[in-house]
């Protein structure tokens, strides 16, 4: 058994090379995924677009951009993230974020910010809608039959007919089902307000020590993957950081760690070799992100319903 490792990248550079160099380091070191930070109103490039830019230039590492649900439509999120999954050949994820900032709401002028609990409820609905849209094409919906001139089997496209307090979405999607079926959904969870409300595949949690991490692991349902967030500032020696990672992993039962870095080299050059030397980390050979994280196959709800 091996722990999982990821890094969190943040920055406002519009130079593609700045992002490409960092993600390639993570890719070559065998890290499981990289997250790209973003907020709705910040100065800087769009995280989903950055992930799409680096996708063709990397081979293994998962690409998990932040995308905010508060001021965006789930239909647009589903198509952008499905496209990222196609471009990356099954390595896409999505870190869900909400916005309670009045300044960000003022950029659009559509409404005042909702209370946080309502924003989280809206995010929960957005996750459900996005996943339904990803499922709205069966895996073999494209037939490309030249003889009959039929490209799509329309019987294998499905209306999702979602109606809730925040969205009414008919569907289907305009993008074929992603290679993973459903790209990995992640969320930063400081407490049960998030992990009890959002049906994410991966939670990034922020315990202060191994005992608190263990308590969080016991509270979150077992099929979820739990990553402890740790800041790496480049001044801690690699041996000390490896000791911390090892102690927390053994004592708490977290699945892995997301390391917040200014430079990916702070992780890849010395920490990763040390963790490998200790037998704690072995890069996965799995080609798609869901498989790398052990999440299993994403079953298409509409295809299964048809078979039933």
Q: What are the helix and strand counts (H, E) for the chain?
A: 12, 12
- Asked if residue 225 has pLDDT above 80, the reply is yes
pLDDT at 307: 63
The SS3 call for residue 212 is helix
User: Smallest Cα–Cα separation from 186: which of 58, 35, 11, 46?
Assistant: 35
Contact 148, 58 (CB under 8 A): no
Classify the C-alpha dihedral 155-140-294-53 as positive or negative. Answer: negative
Mean pLDDT (whole number) for 280-305:
93
Q: Over the Cα atoms of the chain, what is R_g?
A: 20
Split at pLDDT 50, 70, 90, the class of 227 is: very high
Phi/psi class of residue 239: alpha, beta or left (left: φ > 0; alpha: ψ in -120 to 50)? alpha
Domains and CATH numbers, the chain: 4-307 (3.20.20.30)
pLDDT for position 40: 85
**Exposed / middle / buried, residue 148 (Cβ in 10 Å: 0-12, 13-18, 19+):** exposed
Residue 123: CA count within 13 A, CB half-sphere:
31
Indicate the burial class of 153 (C-beta count within 10 angstroms; 0-12, 13-18, 19 or more). middle
| Strand-strand pairing, 162-163 and 168-169 | antiparallel
Return d(Cα 237, Cα 234) in angstroms, integer.
8
Rounded to whole angstroms, the Cα distance separating 61 from 14 reads 21
pLDDT for the residue 296: 87
- What pTM value is reported for the model? 0.96
Write a three-state SS string for 44-106. Answer: CCCHHHHHHHHHHHCCCCEEEEEEECCCCCHHHHHHHHHHHHHHHCCCEEEEEECCCCHHHHH
What token pair was written down for 236? Answer: 């801690």
pLDDT band (50, 70, 90) for residue 306: low
Residue 1 has a pLDDT of 82
Of the pLDDT bands very low, low, confident and very high (cuts 50, 70, 90), residue 308 is: low
């Amino acid at each position: 058994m091996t722990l999982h490792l990821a890094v969190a990248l943040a920055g406002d550079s519009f130079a593609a090379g700045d992002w490409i160099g960092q993600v390639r380091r993570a890719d070559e070191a065998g890290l499981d995924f990289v997250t790209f930070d973003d907020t709705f109103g910040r100065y800087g490039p769009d995280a989903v677009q950055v992930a799409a830019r680096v996708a063709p230039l990397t081979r293994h590492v998962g690409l998990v951009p932040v995308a905010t649900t508060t001021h965006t439509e789930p239909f647009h999120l589903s198509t952008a993230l499905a496209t990222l999954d196609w471009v990356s050949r099954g390595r896409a994820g999505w870190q869900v974020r909400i916005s309670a900032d009045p300044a960000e709401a003022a950029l659009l002028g559509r409404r005042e910010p909702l209370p946080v609990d309502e924003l989280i409820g809206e995010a929960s609905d957005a996750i459900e809608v996005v996943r339904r849209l990803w499922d709205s094409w069966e895996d073999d919906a494209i037939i490309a039959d030249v003889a009959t001139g039929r490209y799509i089997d329309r019987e294998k496209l499905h209306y999702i007919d979602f109606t809730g307090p925040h969205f009414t979405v008919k569907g289907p999607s305009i993008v074929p089902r992603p290679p993973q079926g459903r790209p990995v959904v992640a969320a930063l969870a400081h407490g049960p307000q998030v992990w009890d409300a959002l049906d994410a595949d991966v939670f990034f949690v922020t315990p202060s020590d191994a005992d608190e991490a263990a308590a969080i692991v016991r509270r979150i349902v077992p099929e979820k993957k739990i990553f402890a967030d740790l800041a790496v500032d480049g001044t801690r020696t690699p041996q000390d950081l490896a000791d911390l990672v090892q102690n927390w992993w053994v004592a708490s039962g977290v699945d892995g760690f997301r390391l917040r870095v200014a430079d990916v080299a702070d992780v890849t050059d010395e920490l990763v070799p040390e963790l490998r030397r200790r037998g704690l980390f072995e890069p996965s050979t799995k080609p798609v992100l869901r498989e790398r994280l052990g999440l299993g196959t994403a079953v298409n709800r509409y295809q299964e319903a048809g078979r039933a």
